[in-house]
């Protein structure tokens, strides 16, 4: 695979995000697309109220333009496009309703479920049409399991699980942008190793888009990505894992996202069953903030964990 194309995809997406930021951030501010802050969270976050959100538009637009330029428009191209832009669209509608209609919860749970299910089904149909393998490999072993139609159940679970896990991770300046770039870095290497051109180009574009967005999202953030970005990132990441046949490696490479989601599940479950909380606040990055860590320490620690898990995932996948 041509490494030059990969580097160009990263560079183009990064440059586009850096150029789009100064255009979109003032526009989002003028339209009063400001972030609402939880009053029960870290008090240091209260000063972030009103910071422009829906900045995920910057990421998705930069990735889309770079991907269109350097991809080959194969069947895999459409799977990646539907997964990222489709789930990103659900996130956009959620953000829009929260901000414009002043509904703190955005889309209802049922509306969000239906929207995500529609795009998950479309992805499954595309995979069937391209005769995508329904066998999965166990990382670190030679074991291959043929799932048959159950594979598409796994696809839906992956799309739902990844988008929600990534969404939980978006809560501290630069946290998701950094960990997302690291994860897509791992998937770029795995896609190149598997000669999956579209997945490699898409992952590379995501690296550039996320790092370009990080220029504006690093502490103190000038813009937040909102569900527009987090759901789009999650959908794209799940699609890359599916196309590169690294379905189970996603749990390792995306380990930070898994930890974030598990912290929420454990917190809710513990409170409902025992009336007690395990963490000071979930997702777990807020627990560390309330334990006295500043944002930069939380972010860099999570980035470091993400890098270690990404390296493990790449080593297991090669």
Name which of 242, 246, 240, 249 is nearest 128 in CA terms: 242
Q: Check pLDDT > 70 for residue 148.
A: yes
Q: Is 197 helix (H, G, I), strand (E, B) or coil?
A: helix
Lowest mean pLDDT among 117-121, 124-128, 180-184, 275-279: 275-279
Question: pLDDT band at 141, cuts 50/70/90?
Answer: confident
pLDDT of residue 33: 65
pLDDT of residue 97: 87
Q: Check pLDDT > 70 for residue 34.
A: no
The answer to whether the Cα torsion of 169, 173, 176, 182 is positive or negative is: negative
Q: Check pLDDT > 80 for residue 167.
A: yes
Question: pLDDT band at 311, cuts 50/70/90?
Answer: very high
Q: Check pLDDT > 70 for residue 45.
A: no
- CB of 241 closer than 8 Å to CB of 83: no
pLDDT of residue 215: 96
- pLDDT tens digits for 277-300? 999 999 999 999 999 999 999 999
**Span 99-119, average pLDDT:** 83
- pLDDT tens digits for 219-259? 889 999 999 999 999 999 999 999 999 999 999 999 999 99
Q: Check pLDDT > 70 for residue 44.
A: no
- CB of 13 closer than 8 Å to CB of 205: yes
- CB burial string 288-309: b at 16+ within 10 A, e below: bbeeebebeebbeebbeebbeb
**Span 71-86, average pLDDT:** 95
pLDDT of residue 217: 95
Mean of the per-residue pLDDT values of the chain: 92
**Span 133-162, average pLDDT:** 95
pLDDT of residue 267: 95
Q: Check pLDDT > 80 for residue 49.
A: no
Lowest mean pLDDT among 28-37, 232-241, 306-315: 28-37
Report the share of the chain in percent with pLDDT over 70.
Answer: 92
Lowest mean pLDDT among 20-34, 70-84, 92-106, 218-232: 92-106
pLDDT of residue 73: 87
Q: How many CB atoms are located within 10 Å of the residue 269 CB?
A: 11
Could you give the angle at which helices 150-169 and 109-129 cross, rounded to 10 degrees?
A: 130
The answer to whether the Cα torsion of 152, 158, 164, 166 is positive or negative is: negative
CA distance 57 to 311: 29
Question: pLDDT band at 196, cuts 50/70/90?
Answer: very high
CA distance 84 to 86: 6
pLDDT of residue 48: 58
pTM above 0.85, yes or no: yes
Question: pLDDT band at 121, cuts 50/70/90?
Answer: very high
pLDDT of residue 102: 66
pLDDT of residue 101: 73
Q: Check pLDDT > 60 for residue 35.
A: no
């Amino acid at each position: 695979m041509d490494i030059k194309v990969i580097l160009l995809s990263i560079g183009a997406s990064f440059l586009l995000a850096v150029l789009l930021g100064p255009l979109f951030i003032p526009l989002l501010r003028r339209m009063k697309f400001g972030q609402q802050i939880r009053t029960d969270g870290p008090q240091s976050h209260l000063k972030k109220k009103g910071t422009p959100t829906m900045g995920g538009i910057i990421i998705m637009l930069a990735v889309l333009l770079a991907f269109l330029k350097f991809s080959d428009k194969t069947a895999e191209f459409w799977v990646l496009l539907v997964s990222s832009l489709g789930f990103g669209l659900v996130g956009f509608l959620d953000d829009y309703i929260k901000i414009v209609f002043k509904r703190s919860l955005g889309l209802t749970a049922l509306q969000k479920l239906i929207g995500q299910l529609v795009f998950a089904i479309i992805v499954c149909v595309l995979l069937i049409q391209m005769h995508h393998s329904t066998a999965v490999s166990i990382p670190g072993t030679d074991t291959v399991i043929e799932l048959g139609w159950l594979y598409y159940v796994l696809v839906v679970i992956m799309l739902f699980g990844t988008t929600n896990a990534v969404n939980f991770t978006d809560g501290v300046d630069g946290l998701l942008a950094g960990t997302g770039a690291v994860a897509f870095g791992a998937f770029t290497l795995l896609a190149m190793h598997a000669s999956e051109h579209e997945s490699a180009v898409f992952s590379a574009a995501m690296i550039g888009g996320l790092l370009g967005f990080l220029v504006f999202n690093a502490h103190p953030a000038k813009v937040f990505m909102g569900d527009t970005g987090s759901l789009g990132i999650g959908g794209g990441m799940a699609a890359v894992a599916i196309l590169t046949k690294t379905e189970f490696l996603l749990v390792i490479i995306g380990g930070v996202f898994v930890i974030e989601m598990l912290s929420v599940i454990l917190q809710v479950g513990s409170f409902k069953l025992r009336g007690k909380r395990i963490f000071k606040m979930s997702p777990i990055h807020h627990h560390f903030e309330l334990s006295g860590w500043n944002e930069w320490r939380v972010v860099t620690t999570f980035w470091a964990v993400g890098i270690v898990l990404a390296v493990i995932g790449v080593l297991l996948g090669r």
